[in-house]
């Protein structure tokens, strides 16, 4: 899978607007729900920017963790199908 932008929102209407704004980037823009991440993130920053950073970091960590789990599962399946 190539590069993509995971946007930290589950709001479908926001995603329509975001995709229109970012369509010239040439990368898929997907919501956190579309990658299977839909957490309750506590946005306890004192500014909009701090809350955006909190949310972005949480989504990044969750998507990386999910990708590692998928890779580990794939490697286990390969090991079962192609024993040494």
Specify the pLDDT at position 24. 92
Element (H, E) at 17: helix 12-22
**pTM reported for the whole predicted model:** 0.56
Neighbours of 10 (CB within 10 A): 14
The pLDDT-based confidence of 83 (bands split at 50, 70, 90) is: low
Read off φ and ψ for residue 40, nearest 5 degrees: -90, 105
Long-range contacts of 65-69 (CB under 8 A, 24+ apart): 66/35, 66/36, 66/37
Look at residue 41 and tell me whether its pLDDT is greater than 90: no
Specify the pLDDT at position 80. 75
Look at residue 74 and tell me whether its pLDDT is greater than 80: no
Neighbours of 13 (CB within 10 A): 8
């Amino acid at each position: 899978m190539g590069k993509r932008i995971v946007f930290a929102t589950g709001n479908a209407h926001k995603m329509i607007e975001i995709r229109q704004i970012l369509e010239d980037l040439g990368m898929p823009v997907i919501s956190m729900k579309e990658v299977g991440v839909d957490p309750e993130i506590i946005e306890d920053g004192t500014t909009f920017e701090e809350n955006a950073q909190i949310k972005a970091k949480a989504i990044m960590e969750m998507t990386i963790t999910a990708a590692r789990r998928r890779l580990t599962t794939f490697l286990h399946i390969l090991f079962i199908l192609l024993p040494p």
